[in-house]
Every structure is written in structure tokens, then in C-alpha cells.
């Protein structure tokens, strides 16, 4: 994904064209005003993928913290393998 810096005045004048080109161009536009970043224009699919990645990362961190607080971060490889086999059997039985 490439980010292109564009001034606020230019973005205002070309907004419709910029929005229509986002999906095709795989670009993000960093909109600046007086040399300071103010906003980002990106396609909806890019936005959703970014949000989903962040949510997945947050869920992983949450699971790690929960495991550590319950002492599950100290299980052995054999215990992990046993848990996986048990879960797979339970899933196949359904």
C-alpha cells in the first residue's frame, strides 16, 4: 500500500475523483493542511482490513494475558499436544 501526500485544497477540489480511484489505485492519501497531517483517505476494504488486523492483534494479546493470569503459560509441549488432540476429537464428534 502506497501513501501519497496531498494538500487539503487539492483534496477538496478532487475529492470525488480521489474517492473513486482509491480501490483501483491501492493508494492512501494523507491530507495535509499547512504542512501538517490532518486526515487519511483510504478505500473501505483497506480500512476494514486495517481494523480487523488490529482487532485480531488485540484478541491475541487478551488471550495471552488471560492465559498468563490463569497459569496456562507454563504448560509443556506434551500438554499442548494433548489439548489439541482433545479439541480435535470433540470437534469431530459434533
What total of structural domains would you count in the chain?
2
Distance CA 86, CA 77 (A): 14
Query: Between the ranges 23-32, 56-65, 72-81, where is the mean pLDDT highest?
Result: 23-32
Q: What pLDDT shows up at residue 28?
A: 93
Higher pLDDT, 59 or 73: 59
Is 47 among the domain residues? Answer: no
Give the pTM.
0.57
88 Ramachandran zone, left/alpha/beta (phi>0; psi -120 to 50): alpha
Residue 83 within any structural domain of the chain: yes
Backbone φ and ψ for 54, nearest 5 degrees, come out as -65, -40
Q: How confident is the model at residue 91 (pLDDT cuts 50, 70, 90)?
A: confident
pLDDT, tens digit (0-9, with 9 covering 90-100), for 7-58: 999 999 999 999 998 888 888 999 999 999 999 999 988 888 888 888 888 8
- The reply to whether 1 and 37 lie within a common domain is yes
Domain assignment present for residue 53? The answer is: no
Instruction: Verify that 27 and 62 share a domain, yes or no.
Output: no
Mean pLDDT of 52-73: 84
Burial state string for 70-92 with b = 16 or more CB within 10 A and e = fewer than 16: eeeeeeeeeeeeeeeeeeeeeee
Q: Residue 92 is inside which H or E element, if any?
A: helix 77-93
Give the structural domain span for 81: 58-94
- Asked if residue 49 is part of any domain, the answer here is no
Amino acid at each position: 500500500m502506497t501513501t501519497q501526500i496531498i494538500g487539503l485544497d487539492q483534496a477538496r477540489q478532487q475529492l470525488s475523483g480521489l474517492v473513486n480511484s482509491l480501490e483501483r489505485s491501492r493508494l492512501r492519501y494523507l491530507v495535509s493542511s499547512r504542512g501538517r497531517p490532518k486526515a487519511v483517505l483510504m478505500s473501505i476494504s483497506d480500512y476494514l482490513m486495517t481494523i480487523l488486523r488490529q482487532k485480531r492483534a488485540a484478541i491475541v494479546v487478551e488471550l495471552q494475558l488471560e492465559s498468563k493470569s490463569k497459569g496456562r503459560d507454563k504448560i509443556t509441549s506434551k500438554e499442548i499436544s494433548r489439548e489439541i488432540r482433545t479439541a480435535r476429537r470433540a470437534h469431530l464428534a459434533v
